[in-house]
C-alpha cells in the first residue's frame, strides 16, 4: 500500500492522504495483511501487544477483541471507577469515535463490576443517539457520569508543556481506557491515543498547546507534537481501544474529509504500539509522525513495530 510521505502531504495539501488511500479501495483484511508483516506472532498462550479484529459490530467484537488480552476482567475489577476518554465532539463520520464502540466497552466494564463509568470529556445525548446501540444501552447512558471539575497538574518532565488544566476525573479514576478514532490531523498529521489525551484538558490548555504564543494554529507542528507527548506524561492509559471502522484521512480533526473503512477495532496496553499500527493501517507512515518520536523520547513506548506481537481475529 502506498503511504503518505510528509513532504507529499505538505506539497499536495490536506486532501492528498485520503485520495492516495481511497484510490486503492482496500478492504479491512487487505489493509491488515499489508501491515502485519512487520510484527511478531505471539506464542500459544502468550499475551500480544496488539490485537485487531475485523468487522463493524462492536457489540460482539469488543468482547472478542479483549479475550487475547485476558478479557475485560484483566483490566477492571469489582468496585473500581472507570474513565473512558473518547473523541466525541465532532459530527462528521470518520472523525469521531463511534458511540457503539464506547457503549460496548462501558457495558463490559459494568459486567466486570465497575462501580461507575465516567466519560472524561462530556458528550451530548445527541452523540449517543448516532449509534445503533442507543436503545439497547440507554440504561448505561443514563448511569454514565461526565468530567466536570478541573484541576491544574504540573508536568515536571514536560519539555514544552509544564502545566495543564485537566478534568479531575482523568487523574482520579482507577482505570483509564482510551477509545479514540484513528484519523488525520492537520497539525500533527495523525490523531489517535496520544492526540486524544487533549480531550482530557481544558480549552485554555489546548489552545496553548498549539503554539508558543498561545495562538490557535496548525503551523507549529514541532511544538504541538511535543506538547502532546508532554501531556501524556500525566498518566498512561490502562487499556487502549481504537475505532478503526471508518477513519478520516484528510481535513482532520473535524472533517468533512475523505475516509477509508478498514472495518477494524484495535486494542492493546501501549498507546504507542496501537497508534503506530493504526496509523499505517489508514495510510500514514509512522516515521513521519512527530508525536510518535516525541513519545518515544519520553520513554512512552517502543517505536519499532518489529518488537511488538500482533494477534489478528
**14-61 confidence digits (pLDDT tens):** 433 433 343 333 444 455 555 666 899 999 989 999 999 999 899 999
d(CA 269, CA 50) in angstroms, rounded, equals 8
Cβ neighbours of 260 (radius 10 Å): 25
- Look at residue 263 in the predicted model and tell me its pLDDT: 97
49/29 Cα distance (integer angstroms): 19
Note the pLDDT of residue 1: 35
Question: Any residues with CB less than 8 A from the CB of 107 and at least 6 apart, and which?
Answer: 137, 140
Mean per-residue pLDDT of the chain: 90
Does 256 sit behind a cis peptide bond, omega within 30 degrees of 0 on the bond before it?
yes
Answer for the pair 183, 94: CB distance below 8 angstroms, yes or no.
Answer: yes
In this predicted structure, what is the pLDDT of residue 214? 83
The pLDDT value recorded for residue 15 is 39
* Rg of the chain in Å (alpha carbons): 18
Q: How far is CA 49 from the centre of its chain?
A: 16
pTM comes to: 0.90
Q: Which residues contact 69 (CB under 8 A, 6 or more apart)?
A: 47, 48, 51, 75, 239, 267, 268, 269
C-alpha cell at 269: 496496553
Instruction: Please identify which residue in the block is written with the cell numbers 461507575.
Output: 116
pLDDT attached to residue 35: 62
Q: How far apart are CA 101 and CA 241, in angstroms?
A: 9
Low-confidence ranges of the chain (pLDDT < 50): 1-29
Q: In a 10 Å sphere around its CB, with 0-12 CB exposed, 13-18 middle and 19+ buried, how is residue 293 labelled?
A: middle
- Cβ(232)–Cβ(240) under 8 Å? no
| Contact status, residue 289 vs residue 280, Cβ threshold 8 Å | no
Amino acid at each position: 500500500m502506498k503511504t503518505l510521505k510528509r513532504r507529499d502531504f505538505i506539497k499536495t495539501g490536506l486532501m492528498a492522504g485520503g485520495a492516495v488511500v481511497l484510490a486503492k479501495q482496500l478492504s479491512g483484511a487487505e489493509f491488515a495483511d499489508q501491515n502485519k508483516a512487520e510484527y511478531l506472532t505471539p506464542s500459544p498462550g502468550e499475551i500480544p501487544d496488539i490485537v485487531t479484529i475485523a468487522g463493524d459490530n462492536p457489540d460482539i467484537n469488543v468482547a472478542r477483541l479483549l479475550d487475547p488480552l485476558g478479557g475485560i476482567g484483566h483490566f477492571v475489577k469489582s468496585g473500581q471507577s472507570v474513565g473512558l476518554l473518547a473523541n466525541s465532539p465532532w459530527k462528521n463520520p470518520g472523525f469521531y469515535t463511534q458511540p457503539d464502540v464506547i457503549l460496548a466497552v462501558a457495558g463490559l466494564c459494568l459486567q466486570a463490576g465497575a462501580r461507575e463509568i465516567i466519560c472524561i470529556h462530556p458528550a451530548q445525548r445527541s452523540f449517543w443517539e448516532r449509534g445503533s446501540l442507543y436503545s439497547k444501552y440507554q440504561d448505561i447512558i443514563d448511569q454514565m457520569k461526565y468530567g466536570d471539575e478541573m484541576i491544574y497538574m504540573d508536568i515536571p518532565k514536560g519539555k514544552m508543556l509544564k502545566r495543564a488544566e485537566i478534568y479531575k476525573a482523568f487523574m482520579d479514576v482507577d482505570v483509564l481506557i482510551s477509545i479514540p478514532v484513528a484519523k488525520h490531523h492537520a497539525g500533527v498529521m495523525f490523531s489517535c491515543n496520544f492526540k486524544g489525551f487533549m480531550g482530557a484538558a481544558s480549552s485554555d490548555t489546548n489552545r496553548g498547546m498549539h503554539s508558543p504564543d498561545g495562538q490557535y494554529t496548525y503551523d507549529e507542528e514541532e511544538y504541538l507534537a511535543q506538547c502532546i507527548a508532554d501531556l501524556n506524561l500525566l498518566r498512561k492509559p490502562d487499556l487502549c481501544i481504537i475505532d478503526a471502522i471508518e477513519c478520516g484521512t484528510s481535513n482532520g480533526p473535524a472533517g468533512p474529509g475523505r475516509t477509508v473503512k478498514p472495518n477494524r477495532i484495535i486494542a492493546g496496553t501501549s498507546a504507542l504500539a496501537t497508534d503506530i499500527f493504526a496509523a499505517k493501517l489508514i495510510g500514514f507512515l509512522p516515521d513521519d509522525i512527530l508525536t510518535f518520536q516525541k513519545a518515544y523520547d519520553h520513554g512512552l513506548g517502543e517505536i519499532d513495530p518489529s518488537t511488538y506481537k500482533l494477534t489478528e481475529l
